[in-house]
Homo-oligomer: A and B are copies of this chain.
Amino acid sequence: MVIVRVMKAVSEKNDEAAAAIRSLLTEKHIKSVNIISSPGSGKTALLEKTIKMLPSDIKCAVIVGDPFGTSDAERIEVAGGTAVQLNTEGSCHLTAPMIAAAMGDIELDELNLLFIENIGNLICPAAWDLGETARVTLLSVAEGNDKVTKYRKAFYGADAVVLSKVDLADMSDFYMERAKADIASLNPRAHIIELSSKSGTGMEGWISWLQGLLAT
């Protein structure tokens, strides 16, 4: 007897879970933002500042992905937010089933906005649909101009690109106009936001973009 076991590809299972998440978000009137970047581009710092600046009638929660540790979720909670920490134990991206499991730990009925802070990796997370409403790619100016074209898949699929740590731009030899032209050339529909979570410069543009997303 030959036993044939049809195994669904991991990516196919992922896409089914992502579709289910998208349906649930629509039903609950929740917008979800999947934030992708290299390690240390400032995803958590941006979310800390965002939580403090969002109008109090916008209820948000954060699903925080890291290979190991809980420090980011702790930072979000100190900033006054609600966080669920996912540890991948060394794996390089979040998947939709992980997000579905984490959403089970969040009170969805009161929620408006669900942030997903992906694993710090500018390559692998770009290939995985997490059922998000919008995808945001962050690039710290300290990483240099060339990252846009080298790691282009992370920028192709972004609804918004945040150029972060602009307070370090001069010391990092970062050419803002060139970066913006490269992003626009790869992905003309991406909204580009320059900011520094540390100094607060440009934060109002980000908050405004989020409010626009919530109004859709």
Chain A contacts to B: CB under 8 angstroms: 38-40, 66-69, 71-72, 90-92, 119-124, 140, 142-144, 146-147, 149-153, 165, 167-168, 171-172
A152 to chain B, nearest CB (A): 6
Q: How far is the CA of A165 from the CA of B124 in the complex (A)?
A: 26
Chain B, Cβ-Cβ closest to A92 = B123
Task: List chain B residues, Cβ under 8 A from A72.
Answer: 146
Contact A142 B168 (CB under 8 A): yes
Inter-chain pairs besides A40-B140, A91-B123, A142-B142, 19 sampled, C-beta below 8 Å: A38-B143, A39-B151, A40-B143, A40-B144, A40-B147, A67-B150, A67-B152, A68-B150, A69-B146, A69-B150, A71-B146, A72-B146, A90-B153, A92-B123, A119-B123, A120-B147, A142-B168, A142-B172, A167-B171
Question: Are B90 and A122 in contact (CB-based, < 8 A)?
Answer: no
- B142–A40 touching, CB < 8 Å: yes
- Given the interface pairs A40-B140, A90-B123, the reply to whether A67 lies near B171 with Cβ below 8 Å is no
Residue of B nearest to A69 (CB): B150
